[in-house]
Amino acid sequence: MLGVTQETETVGRLALRALRKAAALFVMSVAVQACVIGGKKAAVDTVLTTGSVPPRVAVFPDENLAKDGQAILAALSANPEEATGLWWENPESGARGLITAYSGEAGCFAFTTTRESFDGIGLYRGKACRDMAGNLRMRMFEQH
């Protein structure tokens, strides 16, 4: 019986050695593949085309005009059919005005309005369009 035990131990040692060699070969092959793959330059993918988002352009040059713009949008939203001769007022800034010219086109309103405030009276042109939700958004507002 002693011979069978020694033979079993020898077979076990040989199997363990073979397993260690296989593990070492596996680790070396993974390392070699990593070096080979890491050394290659990846080609540029020309199949997928993406676009950039244009930078957001400020409609209003200052915060007071932005608040006045909200008051103008509220007046246009409340009376979209009667936009000519429509008064608007912003109690926060003290500005007010009269929308004197108006034209509607495909969900947009082009208008001219006065703006009276503590810094004087001015004439402005603007354009407001409906977004996907149906809300009016100011697209352009500039001094005329």
* pLDDT tens string 44-101: 767 777 777 777 667 777 787 888 999 999 988 887 666 568 899 999 889 999 998 7
The per-residue pLDDT for 97 is: 95
Q: How far is CA 103 from CA 8, 109, 122, in A?
A: 99, 6, 20
Cβ atoms 83, 76 nearer than 8 A: yes
Q: What is the dihedral of CA 123, 129, 135, 138, to 10 degrees?
A: -40
Taking residues 111-120, report their average pLDDT. Answer: 92
Cβ atoms 104, 86 nearer than 8 A: no
pTM of the model: 0.57
Q: Which residue has the higher pLDDT, 118 or 10?
A: 118
The per-residue pLDDT for 5 is: 64
Per-residue pLDDT at 34 exceeds 70: no
Per-residue pLDDT at 28 exceeds 80: no
